[in-house]
Amino acid sequence: MSTGKEQLDVEDDFTPVETDDAEPVVEVAKTNLSKRRTIDNLLEERRLQKQLADYDFDL
């Protein structure tokens, strides 16, 4: 057990290691936004097709 009187060696020049594997959060947001826009476009297209199908051409 430690008595609390021991001197510990501490390195002052610690540099954090950056990994290239980590993706930034911004990329996830861009991907989600892109997916949302795709879904919105599909829903808009479906809505317009329904309006066109319901349109009375016998004016």
Angstrom distance (rounded) from CA 27 to CA 21: 13
Q: C-alpha angle 44/45/51, rounded to 5°?
A: 90
pLDDT at 23 over 80: no
Domain range annotation of the chain? 30-54
| pLDDT for residue 18 | 63
| pLDDT for residue 30 | 84
Phi and psi dihedrals of 25, rounded to 5? -65, -25
